[in-house]
Structure 1
Amino acid sequence: MIGTMRLAGVFDGLKVRPRSRHNVQRFLSRAIDFGFRSFDTAPIYCRGIAEEALGDFSSEDLAITTKVGVNIDSTLPQLAYSYSEYWRSLEGSLTRLRRSRVSCLLLHNPAVRQVRSDDFLRFCEDVLRQGISHRVGCSVSDSVTFRAAVELSPNSDIMISRQLLNSPSVLNRSRKAGQRILVRTLFGGTFANTPARIQPSQIVNEAISTLRGALPLAQLVIAPHTLIQLTAYKDDINSASQGGMAGL
């Protein structure tokens, strides 16, 4: 899965600094040519520009994961954890993505109370019932919220950072959870700080093999920012991911 947080540019909380739309389209087109079909995005990513960039590619075989929980229409983005705000966010995403449905919809960095709230649970039920998203779940950043997310339906998804797997309790719960586990961001940017004696392909293969052996993984999120980085990752990731890893 290609992560798009920095693909379309940078939003620092005050100002959007977008990349050239032409370069973004070239990147996405090349990624699709390489066989990548899954993309992770969110309204806050470059304040909607990442979703708009994905909207330029209308192929229905692309699996898009986006998120709710942030209102980007206010003067400054604000957390928005209510039933009506979830719908407002989703409708904005579908407009920017030029789609009537997405593959997966995640609650973006919630606290435990939002994961367990009636508003979120009712929203998930309605979204699934109406066929607007095939799957729902949470993108969490700490072990406490992860434990709350595990209590959701076994058909839900949980996105976590690779660093969170350093916690033995999280790793054990991940193994037992009925949910699909999505790990972000496995590879971001370049291998510029890698010692010369270690090849990037070695890092890719070891990391993916370790995670595959430890978890019931569904997808791994990578975040190359340029065509050069994308090309460097492609062969190693596809090779290491053969044998049951979905979502690349």
Structure 2
Amino acid sequence: MSGERARLAGRIGTVGLGGAGLGNLYHPVSDEQARAALEAAWDRGVRYFDTAPHYGLGLSERRLGEFLASKPRAEFVVSTKVGRLLVPDPDGAGTLDLANGFAVPATARRVWDFSAAGVRRGLADSLGRLGLDSVDLLYLHDPDEHALGPALDTGLPALSALREEGVVSAIGVGSKSVPALLAAARSGMVDVLMVAGRFTLLEQPALDDVLPECRERGIAVASAGVFNSGLLAEPAPSAEGKYEYGTVPPSVLARANTLAAVCGEFGVELPTAALRFPLREPAVRTVVLGAATAAQVEDNLRRLTEPVPEGLWAVLRERGLIRT
């Protein structure tokens, strides 16, 4: 790992706060609730905060920026993402952005833009919402949902130029797509990959190629979506939960319940195992945990300190439920 990557990994710490919930993911969250969640994270030592324009059409960035305005800049690390520009949408007046999962007024719409100009404009817009002069880490966000090849071909060099100019310290790609993550790793340009939902207690497709590539190249991994959109967030998984931001397929629910049952044999709750699992992988430098309330933050951080018997992992492997 390069010196700059190592310094960034050290500053991020083993846990970060993800900002989707602060952008009213699934349901409304008041400004007071969002600030309380941020305060709880800060008070417990969290210093890495991840956000994106996509999260609540900029609401997450604005709330995070308002909170961090009172904190010393040298004491925290912020990442945001580019690839989706926000442009005014008069046609959205009076409606909510629920089609994209966020309970916020649909006064803007997302426009894909991974061009060099689009990347720079996206960063500038984000800095305006955050009220910051810089972010530490900048990701391309979901290039696979647009056009993977062209997005990486233009977006990664644009990010690399920003890093060379000292505008950002590190760059990466954040995605749920294994092909996107692998292509980014093999590009030789990224410092960090945000692996969302592809290396979890429920499923580990990133083990095949992505994580080995990261180990070989010294790329830091930020593990996100460890609850698979919420399915693993409760001790007893339910069909009412979320998977891939939608309904839970019966086969996936059955697997989650089997995992919960095995965890129960060792006196461990499913969310605790889900939080602890990715940190067993050497390439994973941090786990980014989404939360919208102080209670969720406290619960997640408590679970990260609870003991998990090594025997649990061995039995999960023996039963073919995990691969490592």
After TM superposition, the score normalised by the length of structure 2 is 0.64
- Which shifted more, 120-129 or 91-100? 120-129
Shift of 1:89: 0.7
Q: CA–CA distance in 1 between the matches of 2:138 and 2:150?
A: 15
Cα 1:113–1:203 shift into 2, 3 Å: same
CA distance 1:239–1:62, change in 2 (3 Å)? farther
Q: 2:149 aligns with which of 97, 105, 113?
A: 113
Corresponding residue for 1:143?
178
Preserved CA contact (<8 Å) 1:175 1:214: no
Task: Output the CA distance in 2 between the equivalents of 1:30 and 1:212.
Answer: 22
1:141–1:161 Cα contact (<8 Å) kept? yes
Q: Which has the higher helix share?
A: 2
Contact 2:222/2:288 (8 A) holds in 1: yes
Q: Is 1:4 matched up with 2:4?
A: no
Counterpart of 2:79 in structure 1 is 65
Q: Distance in 2 between matches of 1:175 and 1:42?
A: 26
Q: Tell me, what secondary structure is at the counterpart of 2:42?
A: helix
Q: Secondary structure at the match of 1:7?
A: helix
Give the paired residue count.
235
Instruction: Write out aligned runs for 1:183-194 (5 A).
Output: 183-187=223-227, 190-191=233-234, 193-194=236-237
1:106-132 CA-partner distances (Å, limit 9, x unpaired): 000113314541x32432233113322
Q: Does 1:80 align with 2:113?
A: yes
Moved over 6 A (4+): none
**8 Å Cα contact 1:68/1:86 also seen in 2:** yes
What's the counterpart of residue 218 of structure 2?
A: 178
SS in 2 for 1:2: strand
- CA contact under 8 A between 1:158 and 1:180: conserved in structure 2? yes
Aligned to 1:235: 302
* SS of equivalent residue, structure 1 residue 45: coil
Q: Report the equivalent of 1:14.
A: none
Residue 240 (structure 2) aligns with: none
- C-alpha spacing 1:23/1:120, structure 2 compared with 1 (3 Å): same
Structure-1 residue corresponding to 2:283:
216
Q: Deviations over 1:198-244 (max 9, x none)?
A: 3996545544554333341111111122222211122222567xxxx
Distance 1:33 1:69 in 2: 32
> What displacement does 1:39 show?
1.1
Q: Distance in 2 between matches of 1:77 and 1:172?
A: 34
* Range that drifts further, 25-34 or 164-173: 164-173
- 1:46 is aligned, of 37, 52, 56, to 56
Question: Residue 27 of structure 1: SS of its match in structure 2?
Answer: helix
Amino acid at match of 1:113: G
SS at structure 2 position matched to 1:73: strand
Distance across 1 between alignment mates of 2:88 and 2:187: 30
Residues 143, 49 of structure 1: CA spacing in aligned structure 2 closer, same or farther, 3 A cutoff? same
SS in 2 for 1:47: coil
**Pairwise CA distance, 1:178:** 2.2
Question: Scaled by the length of structure 1, what TM-score is found?
Answer: 0.82
> Tell me, what secondary structure is at the counterpart of 1:163?
coil
Partner of 2:209: 169
Q: Residue 91 of structure 1 corresponds to which residue in structure 2?
A: 124
User: Once superposed, what is the RMSD of the aligned Cα atoms?
Assistant: 2.8
CA distance, structure 1, for counterparts of residue 28 and residue 277 of structure 2: 35
Which stretches in structure 2 are left out of the alignment for 5+ residues? 1-15, 90-108, 238-259, 308-324
Q: Which has the larger displacement, 214-223 or 44-53?
A: 214-223
1:120-160: CA deviations, max 9, x gaps? 24322331133221100111222211221112336511111
Q: 1:142 to 1:184 in 2, by over 3 A?
A: same
Quick check: which one's strand share is greater?
1
Could you tell me how far apart the structure 1 residues matched to 2:169 and 2:306 are?
A: 28
Letter in structure 1 aligned against 2:287: L
> Following the alignment from structure 2 to structure 1, what is the Cα–Cα distance between the partners of residues 305 and 163?
31
Against the structure 1 CA distance between its residues 128 and 173, is the aligned structure 2 distance closer, same or farther, given a 3 Å change threshold?
Answer: closer
| Cross-structure match for 1:157 | 192
Q: Please say which structure displays the higher CA radius of gyration.
A: 2
Give me the whole-angstrom Cα distance separating, in 2, the residues matched to 1:211 and 1:77: 31
Code of the aligned partner of 1:51: E
- Partner of 1:92, secondary structure, is helix
Q: 1:73 Cα deviation (Å)?
A: 1.6
- State which of 110, 127, 134 in structure 1 corresponds to 2:169: 134
Q: Report SS of the residue matched to 1:133.
A: coil
